Amino acid sequence: MLTRFFPSKPDHPLADARVAKRLFDELPRREPTGALDEATALLESIVAVAGFEPNERLTLILQLDEAAGPPARRLCREYVVSARLSRPQEMKLWHLNHDYWQAVAAALDDCLLRHDSGEKGAEAMKPALALLYA
How does pLDDT run across 33-92, given as a tens digit for each residue? 999 999 999 999 999 998 899 999 999 999 999 999 999 999 999 888 877 888 898 899
Question: Are the C-beta atoms of residues 61 and 43 closer than 8 Å to each other?
Answer: yes
In the predicted structure, residue 7 carries a pLDDT above the cut 70:
no
Most confidently modeled range among 11-25, 97-111, 113-127? 97-111
**CA pair distance 43, 117, nearest whole angstrom:** 21
Which amino acid appears at position 30 of this protein?
Answer: R
In the predicted structure, residue 12 carries a pLDDT above the cut 70:
yes
Q: Give the pLDDT of residue 107.
A: 96
Which H or E run includes 92? helix 87-116
**CA pair distance 29, 24, nearest whole angstrom:** 10
The DSSP call for residue 117 is: T
